[in-house]
Amino acid sequence: MGISRELAIRILKYLDEHPDFYFPFWVMCREYSDEDDNFVEIEADEWENIEEDNAYQTFQLWENLQNLDTDTGQFMSMGFIQ
pTM: 0.78
pLDDT digits (tens, 9 = 90+) for 18-54: 998 888 899 999 987 767 778 999 999 999 999 999 9
The domain in which residue 21 lies consists of 2-81
Q: Indicate the number of domains in the chain.
A: 1
48 alpha-carbon distance from chain centroid: 14
* Nearest CA among 58, 48, 46, 43 for reference residue 4: 58
pLDDT at 11 over 90: yes
* Nearest CA among 8, 52, 63 for reference residue 30: 8
